[in-house]
């Protein structure tokens, strides 16, 4: 028996990194169908093939999660094709080059908030509406260690990730008696293309960050995916409103 046997799941930001591993873990743990959502078509289709090889049905959906109408259409498609939506991992996000607090432009601020915070709300809004109709479901959102503490040089990223945890707390409280659970994972530094690109832009910062990491290593994306899928599973049926830190104890140092 898998953790999510027979369930219908959607994972955003699933063309690479944590989202790709999430789709694979959902498939490995028995999901009947996984919707792989991303703007990266080639990467998304690769993830679909990986999920299918693990025994699940899988479909790629090209989606800009900042577009509410497109998000609503995607959730409607899932329900039209599968009859329900049991699990959602809202994982899509971006990073940015670190700069002094006062040097970010309005465009940089607006883009970060749109992708890392507003899109999470749009996804939750339409996922919750469907889950209320069907009588239950589970949602996991990706926040960050920067959702718990400040990340110097990334004020807009920090604000967005703190905001994600606020959405989780409000939704979990409102939906307490609905059969819908809402949680978050707060990853530390994970070995993803996004983080590798950020490290490449500032090697000195990268080395300094690695020195602070337990074991002086980046986390493997599957370490985050395992936590997210568990939070969406019936094994976590008593868990809602949780911000689960997955950073190998980094924040405790």
Angle at Cα 9 formed by Cα 161 and Cα 65, nearest 5°?
Answer: 45
Residues forming the active site: 157
Q: State the burial class of residue 46 (Cβ atoms within 10 Å of its Cβ: 0-12, 13-18, 19+).
A: middle
**Those residues with Cβ within 8 angstroms of residue 137's Cβ, 6 or more apart along the chain or in another chain:** 85, 86, 87, 88, 127, 130, 131, 179, 180, 181
Total Cβ atoms within 10 A of residue 201: 13
* Secondary structure string (H, E, C) spanning 138-196: EEEEECCHHHCCCCCCCHHHHHHHHHHHHHHHHHHHHCCCCCEEEEEEEECCECCHHHH
Determine the Cα–Cα distance for residues 127 and 251; give it in Å rounded to an integer.
Answer: 31
């Amino acid at each position: 028996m898998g953790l999510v046997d027979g369930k219908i799941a959607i994972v955003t930001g699933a063309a690479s990194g944590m989202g790709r591993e999430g789709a694979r873990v959902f498939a490995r743990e028995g999901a009947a169908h996984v919707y792989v959502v991303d703007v990266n078509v080639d990467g998304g289709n690769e993830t679909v093939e990986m999920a299918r090889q693990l025994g699940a049905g899988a479909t790629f959906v090209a989606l800009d999660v900042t577009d509410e109408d497109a998000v609503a259409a995607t959730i409607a498609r899932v329900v039209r094709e599968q009859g329900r939506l049991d699990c959602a991992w809202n994982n899509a996000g971006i990073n940015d080059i670190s700069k002094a607090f006062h040097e970010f432009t309005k465009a940089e601020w607006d883009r970060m908030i749109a992708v890392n915070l507003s899109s999470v709300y749009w996804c939750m809004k339409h996922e919750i509406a469907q889950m209320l109709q069907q009588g239950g479901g589970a949602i996991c959102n990706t926040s960050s260690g920067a959702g718990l503490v400040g990340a110097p040089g990334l004020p807009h990223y920090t604000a967005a990730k703190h905001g994600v945890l606020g959405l989780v707390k409000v939704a979990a409280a409102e939906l307490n008696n609905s059969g819908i659970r809402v949680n978050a994972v707060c990853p530390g530094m994970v070995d993803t293309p996004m983080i590798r690109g950020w490290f490449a832009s500032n090697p000195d910062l990268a080395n300094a960050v690695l020195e602070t990491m337990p074991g002086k290593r980046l986390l493997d994306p599957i370490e985050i995916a395992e936590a997210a899928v568990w939070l969406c599973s019936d094994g976590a049926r008593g868990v809602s409103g949780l911000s689960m830190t997955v950073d190998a104890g980094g924040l405790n140092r």
